[in-house]
């Protein structure tokens, strides 16, 4: 029996009302989730209810050339809360990352970490790395809409079973002499260095980075977190100076907190010299990262985003590190290290034993020599102890070719979870060898 036009209109009307009710419900739920995020902004925290500070950017955030405890995010953690119980600082810096890829990944980072503040230092790699640039230049559009929707974000988390999981910062490993980034279950080359620098510069570079930073600020604020922009510490290249100037303009226009590292480092460079704070490729050394961490801490405190750190509790007693030479042949020498489990370490060597020098707040019984700087830049002389507190390091004697036949002294520094004046690195005994 044919349905009358009147009945068909009634059915369509009911479907329309049902669809309208569903849309109203979805919009109401989206609004409620956004209001809840704003209301809870002062209580935002990451894993285990901690206040989370998220540091994003490129190799300057990651801490290229230095051990993980000496990156600026790790030193910021030590300054704010060495135990990590109340405040957690996450290092999501990736060597070679440009502003377009960071913009693409940022919604997932915000989703995973629920930070109270996001520190952003990026832009230099836009000169040569075009990954994601075309997508970013198309404008935010639906990508930003889907990225900022709290309802869709909640559904995605529930479907993927990610609620309550620990954040997983990008991991950077060395393989066959090259850096590889492991992130979100994928691997890719880190893309550090290369001959493609300088392909984009001037206004084109500044406009691309400024547009991406503007969108990042919007996404961070939409998530309920506070954005903080950092200028690059070095002004050794024109591109740094141009990006820093544009970042200052952007921070003023968007009313964003700004950490002006370039201004801070001008005075420090005049006092200490450039080489004391930077590697030859303009990445900060450990003392430079300490200055960055202190400046970031002061900014976070001034903005009321973190509480003043409580007095650091006494560090738990850990076994003293012990260094030995377990073998030597014509090609290499093997060091055996024992100490606290799962701790980063650095071995340094010097053919000079006096006078003793300062190293990360400790006096070590080695004399100043250029070989020490080479050790600090070598990937072969750093690592991490295993769960039993042991590590083996095989060093090619070619590294010590200039000292053949001489006595060379070695010592290991084992780093605590967070380096503070109260908890400096633990030093091993000194061992000697003749390469």
Q: Smallest Cα–Cα separation from 64: which of 385, 280, 212?
A: 280
Which pTM does this prediction carry? Answer: 0.68
Distance, C-alpha 60 to centroid of its chain: 8
Successive 10-residue mean pLDDT values, the chain, 435 residues: 60 64 58 46 47 96 90 92 87 93 94 96 88 57 48 48 58 70 73 47 86 97 96 94 95 96 93 92 93 95 87 60 93 94 92 78 80 88 93 94 91 80 81 91
Calpha distance 31→150 (Å, rounded): 9
Residues sharing a CB contact under 8 Å with residue 299, sequence separation 6 or more, in sequence order: 228, 257, 258, 259
Q: How far is CA 388 from CA 319, 384, 419, 429, in A?
A: 11, 11, 21, 19
Q: Please, what sign has the CA dihedral across residues 73, 79, 80, 84?
A: positive
Q: 133-164: string of b/e by CB count within 10 Å (b at 16+)? A: beebeeebeebbeebbbbeebeeeeeeeeeee
What is the domain partition of the chain in residue ranges? 29-302, 322-433
**CATH architecture for residues 29-302:** 3-Layer(aba) Sandwich (3.40)
Calpha distance 327→271 (Å, rounded): 44
Which H or E run contains 362? strand 362-364
Calpha distance 360→290 (Å, rounded): 11
Cα three-residue angle 69-413-84, rounded to 5 degrees:
30
Calpha distance 107→181 (Å, rounded): 19
Calpha distance 354→283 (Å, rounded): 30
pLDDT at 45: 41
395-404 confidence digits (pLDDT tens): 999 999 999 8
pLDDT at 237: 92
Q: How far is CA 151 from CA 31, 366, 429, in A?
A: 9, 59, 57
Is 2 in a helix, a strand, or coil? Answer: coil
Calpha distance 361→378 (Å, rounded): 21
| Biggest alpha carbon–alpha carbon distance for the chain | 106
Q: 402-421: string of b/e by CB count within 10 Å (b at 16+)? A: ebeeeebbbbbbbbbbbbbe
Calpha distance 397→328 (Å, rounded): 9
Q: Smallest Cα–Cα separation from 80: which of 71, 70, 88, 91?
A: 88
The CATH classification number of 322-433 equals: 2.60.40.2060
218-254 confidence digits (pLDDT tens): 999 999 999 999 999 999 999 999 999 999 999 999 9
Distance, C-alpha 25 to centroid of its chain: 39
């Amino acid at each position: 029996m044919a349905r009358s036009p009147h009945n068909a209109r009634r059915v369509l009307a009911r479907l329309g009302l049902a669809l309208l009710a569903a849309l109203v419900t979805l919009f109401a739920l989206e609004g409620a989730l956004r209001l809840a995020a704003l209301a809870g902004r002062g209580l935002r925290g990451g894993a285990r209810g901690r206040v989370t500070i998220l540091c994003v950017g490129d190799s300057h955030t990651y801490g290229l050339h230095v051990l993980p405890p000496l990156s600026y995010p790790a030193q910021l953690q030590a300054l704010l809360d060495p135990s990590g119980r109340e405040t957690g600082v996450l290092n999501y810096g990736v060597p070679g990352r440009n502003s377009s890829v960071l913009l693409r990944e940022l919604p997932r980072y915000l989703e995973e970490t629920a930070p109270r503040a996001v520190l952003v230092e990026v832009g230099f790699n836009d000169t040569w790395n075009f990954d994601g640039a075309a997508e970013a230049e198309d404008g935010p559009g639906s990508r930003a809409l889907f990225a900022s929707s709290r309802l869709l974000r909640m559904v995605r988390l529930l479907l993927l079973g990610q609620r309550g999981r620990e954040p997983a910062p990008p991991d950077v490993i060395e393989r066959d002499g090259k850096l590889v980034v492991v992130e979100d279950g994928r691997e890719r080359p880190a893309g550090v260095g290369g001959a493609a620098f300088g392909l984009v510069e001037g206004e084109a570079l500044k406009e691309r980075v400024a547009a991406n930073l503007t969108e990042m600020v919007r996404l961070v604020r939409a998530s309920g977190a506070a954005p903080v922009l950092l200028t690059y510490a070095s002004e050794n290249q024109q591109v740094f100076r141009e990006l820093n100037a544009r970042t200052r303009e952007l921070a003023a226009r968007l009313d964003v907190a700004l950490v002006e590292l370039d201004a801070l480092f001008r005075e420090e460079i005049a006092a200490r010299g450039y080489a004391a704070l930077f590697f030859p490729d303009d990445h900060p050394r450990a003392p430079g990262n300490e200055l960055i961490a202190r400046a970031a801490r002061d900014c976070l405190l001034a903005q009321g985003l973190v509480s003043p750190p409580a007095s650091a509790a006494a560090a738990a007693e850990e076994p003293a590190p012990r260094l030995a030479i377990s073998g030597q042949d014509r090609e290499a020498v093997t060091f055996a290290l024992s100490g606290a489990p799962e701790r980063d370490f650095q071995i340094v060597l010097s053919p000079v034993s006096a006078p003793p020098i300062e190293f990360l707040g400790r006096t070590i019984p080695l004399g100043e020599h250029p070989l020490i700087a080479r050790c600090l830049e070598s990937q072969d002389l750093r690592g991490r102890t295993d769960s039993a507190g042991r590590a083996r390091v095989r060093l090619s004697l070619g590294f010590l070719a200039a000292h053949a036949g001489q006595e060379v002294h070695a010592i290991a520094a084992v780093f605590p979870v967070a380096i503070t004046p109260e908890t400096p690195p633990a030093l091993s005994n000194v061992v000697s060898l003749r390469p």
